[in-house]
Amino acid sequence: MAKRVAVLLSGCGVYDGTEIHEASATLVHLSRAGAKVKMFAPNTEQMHVVNHCEGKPTEGKRNVLQESARIARGDVTDLAKLDVKDFDALVIPGGFGVAKNLSDWAVKGKDYTVQPQVEKVIKAFRQAGKPLAMCCISPVLAAKALPGCEITVGQDKECEKWPYAQTAGVMKDMGCTHVNKNVGEAHVDVKNKLVTTSAFMCNAAFHEVFDGIGVMVSELLKLA
């Protein structure tokens, strides 16, 4: 029987929403594995809108649900309607939307909070014993919602290849166990049924990120 997987989006575009390549890789690997996917996003306003040519905020307001519809080809549902009992697993791709729209990590750093709706869903999947997968920056959501969990955001020593490695240190300070992994690998926290991979936390080629997300999806479905 096909696994039913919920995918939580945070907008559309790396700087203010979901990282599009990570979302696409997730959807391709789930599709290839025969999973039945339904996409969700919170019906809230984005923190801000970023000009992706310049990487700078611009004027205007956009809705997270409406922007996520660009990735979902229009077929996206308000997160408020997600019922855990209808799904076998949850996947949250990365992108700055995770740090801006699903939480306030981008603004508050280690003092961040997770958007209440998002935290409720993560905890509900955990309490139901159903697996979760998160890539890139999205494991910060698990670090807050599932205290003491095991995660990877790649490596913990900053360099040109790993420009965001300081995130691992913050996760450790919060009481999580960070496991160093390369971009083509994923870590499985068996106790929490949580699978994570670094994706674009690494300055890696597109195919390497794609393959790493494939490992994450494969491990997720083994737990579902």
Residue 61, phi then psi, degrees to nearest 5: -130, 145
**Coil, helix or strand for 121?**
helix
Q: Cα dihedral angle (41, 180, 169, 210), rounded to 10 degrees?
A: -30
Give the Cβ contact number of residue 52 at 10 Å: 13
Q: Tell me the backbone φ, ψ of residue 139, rounded to 5 degrees.
A: -60, -15
Q: Tell me whether residue 159 is one of the annotated catalytic residues.
A: no
137-173 residues labelled b (16+ CB within 10 A) or e (exposed): bbbbbbbbbbeebbbbbbbbeeeeebebbebbebbee
Please tell me which residue in 12, 136, 149, 176 is annotated as part of the active site. 136
DSSP-assigned states of every residue in 6-30? EEE---SSTTTS--HHHHHHHHHHH
Angstrom distance (rounded) from CA 88 to CA 35 = 10
Report the alpha-carbon distance of residue 110 to residue 91 in Å, rounded.
23
Active site residues: 136
